[in-house]
Structure 1
Amino acid sequence: MIDSILVIGGRPLDGFELVLLAGLLSGVLMAILAWRSSRLQTRLAGEAQARAREMEDRLRDVMAGQSELAGRLSTMTHLIGERQSDMHQAMSERLDAVGHRLGHGLLESARFTGDHLTKLNERLAVVEGAGQAIGALADEVVGLKSILSNKQARGAFGQARLEAIIQDSLPPSAYAFQPTLSNNSRPDCIVRLPTTSEVLVVDAKFPLEAIAAWRHGGDGEMARAGEQRVRGDIGRHIDDIARKYLLPGETQDIALMFVPSESLFADIQESFSDVVERAFKARVVLVSPSLLMLAVQVVQSLVRDARMRDEARRIQVEVGRLLEDVRRVSERAGALDKHLRKAGEDVTGLILSTEKVTQRGLRIATVDLSEGEPPAAQLQRPLAAE
């Protein structure tokens, strides 16, 4: 018995039947494939013909486009030739204009450069003069350095600067230089205040050697020694001013110690606050040139106020006299008004009398001398009626 390999519809199939079935299926499948292949070839052939016709149409369009493009290219070539000639002409004109402008610009540039060179020469001459002035200033600085290195000359420099500040701000009656006080001491300057007889003392001192040693001492022992020297020198100046120039009933309760350098004053205020406090306790005020100017302006304001008060009293006296004169003028004007009114009344009466005389003259001129009445009666009747 042959074993079945496959069962279809409840019927078992052996190997031979299975081979026959496979062959039959293969033939059917080959027929289907051949039919589909023929249809595909037919469709592809139709599509190829359609594509061929489309390609022919496109080739005709391309040929027409090429011919049209050739015409346009010829037209463009002609236009480009014309435009090129126009461009050459315009470029030549532009180049001529640019050449003209360039030549004009070069001329202007040459003229401008010449003017600038002339001004530069003038400025160089000014710079040369400034260099000479700087040289002279350097000589003056060297002279100032020599002055500051000499103690007596330095004192004269401080005194001169103090005098310049005082003289520029106050009238001569408000100050005095090198006066002698009751204790035979001679301060550099006193300022007279308008509201009191006690004067303000200003003394010019500045310890340059000590501060120079402190500035150049560095951070070691020399710096500390310089600080001690500055404190000692300024302290002695403060004590001398407080002892000599603070005199009850003759000077003010405070005195000014003038330091004729803003940088020295700033160093003292910044690094030696104990010295400033010591001076404050001793009623001595350290002032720089700017602070002295401010103090002098305050004194100047006081002097101006005192003068204004004096002048105000004078003005009051003069105003009283002016009022008396005005009263007299008013009385005389009243009397004149009375006389003018009386004269006006007299003139009014005179005008009335003149009018009456005129009217009577007119009446006399118009008298009718008739035969029925004597002339005397005609003249007397209008007069009596009046």
Structure 2
Amino acid sequence: MQDVLIDISGRPITVAEALLAAAAIAMLLLLMILILVWRGHARRVAADAELHMQGAEFQHRVAELVRVQFEMTGRMQTMAEVFGSRQSELVRGLSERLDGLGHRIGQSMNETTRNTHEGLSRLHERLAVIDSAQKNITELSSQVVGLQQILANKQTRGAFGQARMEAIVQDGLPAGGYAFQATLSNGNRPDCVIAFPNGAPGLVVDAKFPLEAWNAIRAAEGPEMTRAAEAQFRRDITKHLKDIAERYLIPGETQDTAFMFVPSESIFAEIHERFEDIVQGSHRLRIVIVSPSLLMLSVQVLQSVLRDVRMREQAHVIQGEVLKLMEDVARVTERVLKLQTHFGQASKDIDDILISTRKLKNRGARIEQLEFGEEGTPVLDRQGDLLASE
């Protein structure tokens, strides 16, 4: 047993030592195994205890869950009842609102339908008015086209201006106060001669206005063409003004001023605005450019003058009539005075009659109050007067 079994780092190890070491190791291993087994059992016990505790906790939690479930069920039933009542109220409210909305929509639709019908009726009326206006515009367009055709022709244009001038003169003056196309001493025939009172020379009115150059101004395109048309218009109207002055201004037979009639207010305005030199030249030639409104005003002034002249001519007749009227007034005054005298006399007679009737009334009253004695003797009144018997 003392035999060396192995030498480790110079130290010999015997068999006994080796066996002791092996036994120690075995014991150590057994101890470790026992420790491991005990630890496993302890772990199982702890696991069982923990599992038991978890089972109890689980049961507790299950019970709690059951309780919560019961509470949730009750709450759900309560909520279901509340929701049911709320739902019924909501349905009732929605029904009422839908009924009210349907009623309002029906009223609105009825009102909208009525307004639509009224609007359509008004629209039909306006369409009828528009159709009438369209017809008037169509007729006016045809008339404008005819007017353009008239103004395009020189002879018809002169007839148009002559017609407007004649209408104005005829409306403003009496029949004997004018003459159309009268022949002057030099053989010329102006469009109109307006007669003045007391044998004064007449006033010449010319209605032949040159429109060709003016229409050329309107139709001009560009500055060059416009200037050329304006120059041609100046030449034409200057020549026409000179012709009027040479043909119609006759001393002692016509007035020293003549009218040149322009049948358009717009042309008249543009001439005074754009062609001041033409206006000044007409004044130097003693010719007045007149529009329809100015000619009408001049005719009205002449009418007033003629009326004043006629009144002065009839002044002696008026004076004679006034004298006769004064004589009639004097006679009426005299007769009124006589009637007043008769009324005064009649009034005096009436007063006398009233006095007599008042006396008769008093006497009748006294007779009514008479008193008689026993033998029929009349009794005196307080004043001592004898009262007559019946």
TM-score normalized by structure 1? 0.63
Q: Helix, strand or coil for the counterpart of 2:279?
A: helix
Q: 1:205 aligns with which of 199, 203, 208?
A: 208
Partner in structure 1 of residue 6 of structure 2: none
- Give the CA RMSD over aligned residues: 4.2
Partner in structure 2 of residue 141 of structure 1: 144
Q: Helix, strand or coil for the counterpart of 1:186?
A: coil
Tell me which amino acid in the other structure corresponds to 2:321.
Answer: E
Q: Does 1:215 align with 2:218?
A: yes
Q: Give distance in 2, aligned partners of 1:159 and 1:336.
A: 67
Q: Give distance in 1, aligned partners of 2:361 and 2:219.
A: 118
Using the TM superposition, give the Cα deviation of residue 132 of structure 1 relative to its aligned residue in structure 2, in angstroms. 3.3
Between 135-144 and 116-125, report the one with greater CA deviation: 116-125
Partner in structure 1 of residue 243 of structure 2: 240
Using the TM superposition, give the Cα deviation of residue 153 of structure 1 relative to its aligned residue in structure 2, in angstroms. 0.4
Using the TM superposition, give the Cα deviation of residue 286 of structure 1 relative to its aligned residue in structure 2, in angstroms. 0.6
Q: Helix, strand or coil for the counterpart of 2:203?
A: strand
Partner in structure 2 of residue 131 of structure 1: 134
Q: Does 1:112 align with 2:118?
A: no
Distance 1:195 1:83, change over 3 A: farther
Q: Give distance in 1, aligned partners of 2:264 and 2:206.
A: 14
Distance 1:311 1:89, change over 3 A: farther
Using the TM superposition, give the Cα deviation of residue 188 of structure 1 relative to its aligned residue in structure 2, in angstroms. 0.9
Q: 1:321 aligns with which of 321, 324, 334?
A: 324
Q: Does 1:155 align with 2:191?
A: no
Q: Helix, strand or coil for the counterpart of 2:332?
A: helix
Runs of 5+ in structure 1 lacking a partner? Answer: 1-76, 361-365, 367-386
Identity of aligned residues (%): 53
Using the TM superposition, give the Cα deviation of residue 312 of structure 1 relative to its aligned residue in structure 2, in angstroms. 6.7
Using the TM superposition, give the Cα deviation of residue 279 of structure 1 relative to its aligned residue in structure 2, in angstroms. 0.7
Tell me which amino acid in the other structure corresponds to 1:160.
Answer: A
Between 324-333 and 152-161, report the one with greater CA deviation: 324-333
Q: Give distance in 1, aligned partners of 2:185 and 2:340.
A: 69
Q: Helix, strand or coil for the counterpart of 1:253?
A: coil
Using the TM superposition, give the Cα deviation of residue 259 of structure 1 relative to its aligned residue in structure 2, in angstroms. 0.9
Q: Give distance in 2, aligned partners of 1:101 and 1:252.
A: 84
Tell me which amino acid in the other structure corresponds to 1:255.
Answer: A
Distance 1:280 1:86, change over 3 A: same
Q: Give distance in 1, aligned partners of 2:219 and 2:359.
A: 118
Distance 1:109 1:351, change over 3 A: closer
Q: Give distance in 1, aligned partners of 2:272 and 2:105.
A: 68
Using the TM superposition, give the Cα deviation of residue 223 of structure 1 relative to its aligned residue in structure 2, in angstroms. 3.5
Tell me which amino acid in the other structure corresponds to 1:270.
Answer: E
Partner in structure 2 of residue 333 of structure 1: 336
Distance 1:246 1:96, change over 3 A: same
Q: Helix, strand or coil for the counterpart of 1:286?
A: strand
Using the TM superposition, give the Cα deviation of residue 338 of structure 1 relative to its aligned residue in structure 2, in angstroms. 4.1
Partner in structure 2 of residue 299 of structure 1: 302
Using the TM superposition, give the Cα deviation of residue 311 of structure 1 relative to its aligned residue in structure 2, in angstroms. 6.8
Tell me which amino acid in the other structure corresponds to 1:164.
Answer: A
Aligned residues: 299
Tell me which amino acid in the other structure corresponds to 1:127.
Answer: I
Between 267-276 and 282-291, report the one with greater CA deviation: 267-276
Partner in structure 1 of residue 376 of structure 2: none
Q: Give distance in 2, aligned partners of 1:146 and 1:344.
A: 88
After superposition, what is the alpha-carbon deviation per residue over 1:123-165, rounded to whole angstroms, capped at 9, x for unaligned? 3344334333333322222221111111100000000111122
After superposition, what is the alpha-carbon deviation per residue over 1:267-319, rounded to whole angstroms, capped at 9, x for unaligned? 32223222211110010011112222222232233334445556776554433
TM-score normalized by structure 2? 0.62
Tell me which amino acid in the other structure corresponds to 2:203.
Answer: L
Tell me which amino acid in the other structure corresponds to 1:216.
Answer: A
Q: Give distance in 2, aligned partners of 1:257 and 1:87.
A: 92
Distance 1:343 1:133, change over 3 A: closer
Using the TM superposition, give the Cα deviation of residue 245 of structure 1 relative to its aligned residue in structure 2, in angstroms. 1.8
After superposition, what is the alpha-carbon deviation per residue over 1:87-139, rounded to whole angstroms, capped at 9, x for unaligned? 65444323211201211221232233233334434433443343333333222
Distance 1:126 1:357, change over 3 A: closer
Q: Helix, strand or coil for the counterpart of 2:209?
A: coil
Q: 1:174 aligns with which of 172, 177, 180?
A: 177
Distance 1:97 1:316, change over 3 A: farther
Structure having the higher Rg: 2
Q: Give distance in 1, aligned partners of 2:261 and 2:122.
A: 48
Partner in structure 2 of residue 100 of structure 1: 103
Q: Give distance in 2, aligned partners of 1:202 and 1:313.
A: 34
Q: Helix, strand or coil for the counterpart of 2:113?
A: helix
Distance 1:240 1:83, change over 3 A: same
Using the TM superposition, give the Cα deviation of residue 324 of structure 1 relative to its aligned residue in structure 2, in angstroms. 1.0
Counterparts of residues 48-87 of structure 1 (less than 5 Å): none
Q: Give distance in 2, aligned partners of 1:350 and 1:103.
A: 93
Q: Does 1:256 align with 2:232?
A: no
Q: Does 1:281 align with 2:256?
A: no
Partner in structure 1 of residue 34 of structure 2: none
